[in-house]
Every structure is written in structure tokens, then in C-alpha cells.
Amino acid sequence: KSPPAPVSSRGVLYLGKEAKLKIEGKVEFGPGTRIHLNNKAILSIGDGTFMHHDSAIITRRQISIGSGCAISWGVNITDSDWHELQYPSREEKKEFVSIGNNVWIGHNVSVLKGVTIGDGCVIGAGSVVCSDLPAGTLAAGVPASPIRTKIEWKR
């Protein structure tokens, strides 16, 4: 008989009422991964994507992650601020996240609501992605900004 796994190695999956989790093909999650889908939320993840340990996907509306993505440890992806902030010139951002195919997200990155990350992008460690990134972009920083374009990466 094996001893019980420590609490930190367990992941969490929470599905709210009418939430939809769509997994296409083989997807891998590391220990401590947290996935939270609010009521009626949709999360889709493509074939060959993996997410390392201690990362989280928390969705209120919709998050889409493509095929062949490499998501490192400590990554947080969310499609909502989870609160309301009002001021006169505030423009409301769309509340969904789209991550393309073959995207590499470095450790301790935050991907925030309203973001589209194009196919083949690489996001440097510790970045905060709060605006769209076109395909083939290497981006880093707080907030993440393009460093190079027309890049390619391979596992």
C-alpha cells in the first residue's frame, strides 16, 4: 500500500452548473494544477498540450487553449477580473481568452482577460499578458510586450 500523496501534489477540478470542459486528444496536467469553471463557463484544450505543476485556469466565461502548447509551472490564466471597477472613461474588455496552437508560456506568467495569443508565440517567465499578441511573437515583461517577431520554437 502506498502512502497518501501530500496535499500539494493534488490538483483541483471544479465544474460549475452547466460548465463545459472540452479536451481534444491527450492533455497532461502536473501535480497541483487547479481548474475552475464557473457556472456556464467553457474551457477547451487541444491535443498534445501540457500544463506543469502548480498552475491554474480559472474561467468565468470562456478560455480556449490550442494544440501542442507548453504551459510551465506557476502559470495563471483567467478571463475575468472577478470584480467590477467603475470610472468614467472605462472601456469594458471582452471576457474570454484565446491561446493559439504551439504556444510556449514560461513559468509564473499571468494571462489576463480579453487576451488573444497567436499561434507559435513564446511568453517569457514572469510576464503579465494583458493585450493581444500576434502569431510568432516572443513577448516578455510586465506588461508583456513583443521582443521579436516571426519566431519559431520546437520541443
- Catalytic positions: 83
Q: How many residues does the chain have?
A: 155
User: Which residues, 6+ apart, have CB-to-CB distance to 139 below 8 Å?
Assistant: 121, 122, 123, 124, 127, 129, 133, 145, 146, 147
- The conformation of residue 150, written as its DSSP 8-state character, comes to S
Cell representation of residue 144: 508583456
CB-based contact 108:125 (threshold 8 Å): yes
- The conformation of residue 82, written as its DSSP 8-state character, comes to S
Other C-beta atoms lying within 10 Å of the C-beta of residue 11? 16
